[in-house]
A and B are shown apart, each in its own frame.
Chain A
Amino acid sequence: MKTILTVDKLSKSFGKIKAVNQLSFEVRKGQVFGILGPNGSGKTTTLSMLLDLMSPDNGEFSWFGELPSKESRKRIGSVIESPNFFPYLDAVTNLKIVADIKDKPYDDIPEVLQLSGLYERRFSKFRTYSFGMRQRLAVASALLGKPEVLILDEPTNGLDPQGIAQIREIISLVASRGTTILLASHLLDEVQKICNYVLVLRKGIMLFNGSVKDVLAVSDSIEMAASDMQGLINAVREFPGFLSFTENGGLIQAHFSKEVGTAGINTFLYQRGIFLSHLAEKKRSLEQHFLELLQETP
């Protein structure tokens, strides 16, 4: 698969706060790549750097295997934070400005307006649009000229359920055409529904980077205790598929990327001279797993 975006040790600080810290990842063609993290975890800062709105303090990135330039940005459709349009211009004029900048013809304008359900209101001024319509116009403008990559920053933030469904429908449709999508969200559910690849970010640090199945599809974790806790932790770390663990009240809870079963891990630990005093399988919700991932110290 062709690499679309390579990010290498990207860092950005605002004063003392490290908004993005040594972030490295790759996005490949056709992926629906989610950046998942709570508010303030550095998602928007990362995307802003990738689109030349901010310059990184350190590190670099490349689009389509080239140094980033305005030409690479013309191949990307983006919605960052709020939809930004001239309120006194109608949707068509606003989209024409976007097409002009991207060196794309106006032919796509009716199509993207129809796709976003704004065709009937295309000659209304942007300021008369409702919040949901504004968000849809932003997505429409990002789709102009059939971009190779679509970048969406919290595309459903603040929308009502119907608006959320509309946006997600558009994203799925675009993804099905083979467009690479980079989506930042604080909603686990959204990433899980839309993305096939995910990067979990917390305080600017990458916690996890892998396929959605790997990080979110685990349905259980295993709770253990032993007299030699440190030995137990060290041994568990070597277990194939180990992701992370949390320690709580003399118990450790270990998460694995696949189903392991109590028997398998017991045998594994026994072979390494660890004798368990407690062993239990724990069913967890995805939400809980995400929260755990975020709570762990990196």
Chain B
Amino acid sequence: MIKLLKIEYKKIRTYKVFWILTGLYFVFLAAGILLAEFMINHMVNDINRRMPIPFPHVAIYYFPDVWQNVAFFASIRYVLIFPAIIMIILITNEFTYKTIRQNIINGMSRTEFLISKLIIILLMSVIMALILAAGAFFIGLSHSGFSEVDFFSKGIPFMAGFFISLLCYMVYAFFCGFMLRNTGLSIAIFTLYSLIIEPVIYFFLRAPFMFRNTIYTYLPVNAVIRLTEYPAIPMLKKLMGLNLQDHVSIVACLIPICYAIIMIGIVSWIMKRKDL
């Protein structure tokens, strides 16, 4: 395991594309999270101009809600696509440069190759979730101060939920890259599906003319990003009658995990048989 990790680390240590995309991901993430309150309150101001009774401004950076809010903004499709693209590049590079062949020739087993990529996915998810958790903690601290009683009640569940989102979504990306083997094609199809095709399917499944169904909860990307379905903004409850969650549902986690396991199963089945 350590050996495989060492090898993978050498592959990315001086790989500029990897670090630039990772950096961009955190820049977008930080910008999104830090601008969220400002943007929401801007909308509130807009609405208030036409309303007799003004809505109160929202505050989303307080403990314990900050955990849920940060997890929500971090798992928005447009942000989550970054680590997925990084993963697609890392796996398709192995096919483009034929280094997968060379690794096998040199004495790596096919299973080891697969494991080495899964280790990277796991590790990237852990590190990114930890960085996000640290970020959320500092945002919370700077807004709430130590007087708050409830620091952590939402911390572990929502950060764990975000970790599962990231992990599963990166497995999807790995699967897509492994099946298509071509960097550009994989990124295009994966992005297209995540950002356009699935939202359209989602829209039709929830449209009023459709029979009542829960199929939409099983759409793979939707299942990933809906682990934290809404930000913790009490106003949303009043306004839209939403049932705000105060925890991450275990059942909801199982859907993307099942997809991820099936995909890993398919990849390992192909990996053992296919000519490289």
| Residues of chain A having any CB pair with chain B under 8 Å | 48, 51-55, 69-71, 73-74, 76, 78, 80, 82, 84-90, 93, 96-98, 100-103, 141
Contacts and interface: CB of A to CB of B under 8 A. Distances in A.
18 contacts: A52-B104, A52-B110, A53-B104, A53-B105, A53-B275, A55-B275, A80-B105, A84-B98, A86-B97, A88-B14, A88-B16, A89-B10, A89-B11, A93-B13, A96-B10, A101-B7, A103-B107, A141-B106
Contact of B10 (A48, A51, A71, A93): A93
A80 to B, nearest CB: 6
Contact of B107 (A82, A88, A96, A101): A101
Nearest to A151: B105
B191 interface: no
A89 B14 contact: yes
Interface in B193-209: none
| Chain B residues touching A, range | 20 to 34
A73 B105 contact: yes
Given A70-B112, A80-B101, A102-B107, A86 B93 contact: yes
B107 A100 contact: no
Contacts of A101: 7, 103, 106-108
A204 to B, nearest CB: 16
A102 B13 CA distance: 20
B212 interface: no
Contact of B106 (A55, A73, A86, A93): A73
Given A89-B15, A141-B106, 14 more contacts: A51-B104, A53-B275, A53-B276, A69-B109, A71-B107, A73-B105, A78-B106, A85-B99, A86-B11, A86-B15, A89-B10, A100-B10, A101-B108, A103-B3
Contacts of A54: 275-276
B50 interface: no
A88 B101 contact: no
A265 B270 CA distance: 59
B101 A100 contact: no
Contacts of A70: 107-109, 112
Nearest to A93: B10
Identify whether the interface residues of B are mostly helix, strand, loop, or mixed.
helix
B49 interface: no
A102 B112 CA distance: 13
B238 interface: no
B249 interface: no
A100 B13 CA distance: 15
A100 B6 contact: yes
Given A55-B273, A55-B275, A88-B16, A97 B105 contact: no
Interface in B65-118: 93, 97-99, 101-110, 112
A87 B93 CA distance: 10
Nearest to B14: A89
A249 B15 CA distance: 65
Contacts of A73: 104-107
A97 B10 contact: yes
A76 B102 CA distance: 12
A87 B16 CA distance: 12
B243 to A, nearest CB: 49
A71 to B, nearest CB: 7
A86 B99 contact: yes
Nearest to A82: B98
A88 B97 CA distance: 10
Contacts of A89: 10-11, 14-15
6 closest residue pairs by CB, A with B:
A74-B107, A84-B102, A84-B98, A73-B107, A54-B275, A70-B109
Contacts of B109: 69-70
A100 B16 CA distance: 22
Interface in B1-39: 3, 6-7, 10-11, 13-17
From A84, A87, A96, name the one whose CB has the most chain B CB atoms within 10 angstroms.
Answer: A84
B260 to A, nearest CB: 26
Nearest to A75: B107
Nearest to B103: A101
Contact of B275 (A48, A74, A88, A98): A48
A87 B106 CA distance: 18
A102 B106 contact: yes
Contacts of A86: 11, 15, 93, 97, 99
